[in-house]
Chain A
Amino acid sequence: MKRLFVGFASLALIVALSAFTPAKTPKKENSQPGSSFSMPDSVKAIVDHSCFMCHNSNARGDAKDKLNFDELSSMKGPQLVANLANMAKMIKNDWMPPRKFLKDHPEMALTAQQKQVLLEWIKAENNKIFSEN
């Protein structure tokens, strides 16, 4: 009887503990309360390498007025959809990073595989945004 009790108690403890320890959810970077926008590490690495330099709040030039990765995570609805779809367009057409820029920095060009990762992520994000509204 005592053994049974100890067994139950430890089982309960384990259940309770596992309920309170944060579950192993996939890491969400840039996620904001109120929107489920998320950029997985695989995508973030590509963006950081090939895009972020020109498209952040502190960048020089007017690229940040068209797309700003520091602001993307706080966008939602049609504005977020528009930004993501615009990215897809630029990527599909090989318009970004700008060709002139790539002459001096060929290592920043997107590979076919990187393009695919970005495009699949964009598609999934857009589907998510539409399904949430």
Chain B
Amino acid sequence: MKKRNRKLWRYLFGTLIVLFVVIQFIPVHKPKVIKDNPNDFLLNTKMPAHVASMFQESCYDCHSNQTKYPWYARIAPSSWLLASDVTEGRAHVNFSNWTKMSKAQQIAALSDIASEVKSGDMPFWAYPIMHPKARMSKADRKELVDWAQKYQNEIFYSK
């Protein structure tokens, strides 16, 4: 009986390993990293240094072309997850294209930023687990939200 059980476990474990190896060969479409982004938000916007560093640390991996992929981005199935998160993140707002966006789009982005950060929906809860620097305190959130709301008005009333 015991022997049979052990066999079963071995069989299961073996299958898992084979599966793990096989899925490594499935192509993944990870969004490309682009280093030079002349239209970048942080590059072209004046803001307090701490606000800028929060954007960089807490947002830029998913919402810019400057994604810093971690080691587990090379391994399935985590690579699938990262690929889809970054694809979706950039589709929502890509800070690397900031100056190419219309005023209306910038205002909408800032308004979304304020509401997502205020409600705690962003950064996505799982992200700070692997990126402790991305964790935002209550005070951090308030600082970012206040700035985003102020800057949104500034853009609106600028000629």
- Smallest Cβ-Cβ distance to A127: which chain B residue: B104
Q: Is the interface of A mostly helix, strand, loop or mixed?
A: helix
- Chain B residues contacting A83 (CB-CB under 8 Å) are 108
Whether a CB of chain A sits under 8 angstroms from the CB of B56 is: no
- Chain B residues contacting A133 (CB-CB under 8 Å) are 156-157
Is A85 touching B157 in the complex (CB atoms < 8 A)? no
- Chain B residues contacting A93 (CB-CB under 8 Å) are 91
Is A77 touching B156 in the complex (CB atoms < 8 A)? yes
Q: Is the interface of B mostly helix, strand, loop or mixed?
A: helix
Is A85 touching B156 in the complex (CB atoms < 8 A)? no
- Chain B residues contacting A79 (CB-CB under 8 Å) are 111
The CA of A126 and the CA of B155, in the complex, are separated in Å by 13
The CA of A126 and the CA of B104, in the complex, are separated in Å by 7
Report which of B91, B104, B112 forms a contact with A81, defined as CB distance below 8 A.
B104
- Residues of chain B in range 102-159 having any CB-CB distance to chain A below 8 Å: 102-105, 107-108, 110-112, 152-153, 155-157
Q: Produce 1/0 per residue, A53-96, CB < 8 A to B.
A: 00000000000000000000000011101111110110001000
Whether a CB of chain B sits under 8 angstroms from the CB of A5 is: no
Is A78 touching B152 in the complex (CB atoms < 8 A)? yes
Chain A, interface size category, equals 10 to 19
Q: How far is the CB of B10 from chain A (nearest CB, A)?
A: 41
- Chain B residues contacting A20 (CB-CB under 8 Å) are none
Is A85 touching B153 in the complex (CB atoms < 8 A)? no
The CA of A93 and the CA of B111, in the complex, are separated in Å by 19
Report which of A78, A86, A88, A89 forms a contact with B156, defined as CB distance below 8 A.
A78
- Residues of chain B in range 61-101 having any CB-CB distance to chain A below 8 Å: 91-92
Is B91 touching A86 in the complex (CB atoms < 8 A)? no
The CA of A83 and the CA of B155, in the complex, are separated in Å by 15
The CA of A79 and the CA of B115, in the complex, are separated in Å by 12
- Chain B residues contacting A84 (CB-CB under 8 Å) are 104, 108
Q: Produce 1/0 per residue, A114-133, CB < 8 A to B.
A: 00000000000010001001
- Chain A residues contacting B152 (CB-CB under 8 Å) are 78, 82
- Chain B residues contacting A130 (CB-CB under 8 Å) are 103-104, 156
Is B103 touching A86 in the complex (CB atoms < 8 A)? no
Is A89 touching B157 in the complex (CB atoms < 8 A)? no
- Smallest Cβ-Cβ distance to A77: which chain B residue: B156
A residues whose Cβ falls under 8 Å from a Cβ of B: 77-79, 81-86, 88-89, 93, 126, 130, 133
Contact sample, A vs B, 18 pairs, CB 8 Å cutoff: A78-B155, A79-B111, A81-B156, A82-B104, A82-B111, A82-B112, A83-B108, A84-B104, A85-B105, A86-B112, A89-B92, A89-B105, A89-B108, A126-B102, A126-B104, A130-B104, A133-B156, A133-B157
B residues whose Cβ falls under 8 Å from a Cβ of A: 91-92, 102-105, 107-108, 110-112, 152-153, 155-157
